[in-house]
Amino acid sequence: MNPTATALPLTPDLILRRPALFTTEPVDPATALGALFAADGAGKGAPKSAAEAEALRRLAGPLAPAAALLPGRERERAATLAAWIEALFATAAEGDRVEKRLERLNRSAFVVARALAGEPVEAPFARRFAEESRRRLFPRRSLDLLLAEARAATRQPLGSTPEEWEIRSRKLAGGVAEALVGGEPSPSTVEAANAFVRLVRLARVQDDPAAGFHLAIESPPTPSGAPPREAMVAAIAEECEAIHPLLLRGARAVGEVPLTFRAALAALLGLSIRLLGKIESRPDDLLDGKIRLGRFERYWTLRLARRERFA
């Protein structure tokens, strides 16, 4: 080697950069996680966000009225958790490269981890999330599980087989239930949560036929990309058959969850049974958006749950 040789200048490709995971730059605000973790309001405390309550209504869909039976503080916890989950899975469905979406998931997870550890963060949402976890822990296992499911959905939106779809929906339900109650849920609670997850997704089949549930069919798709109507109706009926026993087994959870959740869970079960019964009797109508829970049905179900005496 010639000791007098001139060293090559460092090009941008040769400069060691800070790993994207640890960057302090905000996530792209045009994305779901960027909007949720926006730094506006930094240093002004952690104001409550009406957007989180709206996220809970969107995520729960036709079962959202049951949230009215939660105590105010528990409803806020559910809304905060729902906003985070919604942003995670919205990221999985965004249209840019998989690597970019995974990077956003990882960066947001780093911000949450810092907030949970007591470090100062700019995002008001992350501070609210940490404050709620200090009140009652968001178990690390449940947060890791929800992140893992969002990463899996980023790489592959649905399971490749009905069995894989059942496994993934159960994992998601378990993560949601554990994060919400702040501890390991009973098997019946996971069964109930799994039924709710699958029923809410099934109810949205008109908006997104491919994402409503795993279609265990081999019929060729229509020009729009959706399976033929007859195959969709058959798949809806099969999914109803899978959800029904989950609800029956999940009913035991009313006596197993913490007392503050029991009225809301009873209402969730009542709304779910009514909605599932309508879909089972008229699966074809679901594709046309004709199946809804009426105002009186919602009111009466919540009234019965509110009047129930839970030990």
pLDDT tens-digit map of 95-142: 889 999 999 999 999 999 999 999 999 899 999 999 999 999 999 999
**Domain at 49-208+226-307: CATH code:** 1.10.600.10
* pLDDT single digits (tens) 61-107: 999 999 999 999 999 999 999 999 999 999 988 988 999 999 999 99
Q: Which residues of 173-199 are buried (b: 16+ CB within 10 A; e: fewer)?
A: bbbbbbbbbbeebbebbbbbbbbbbbb
pTM comes to 0.84
Interhelix angle 162-181/72-92, nearest 10 degrees: 150
Query: From CA 256, how far away is CA 248, in angstroms rounded?
Result: 15
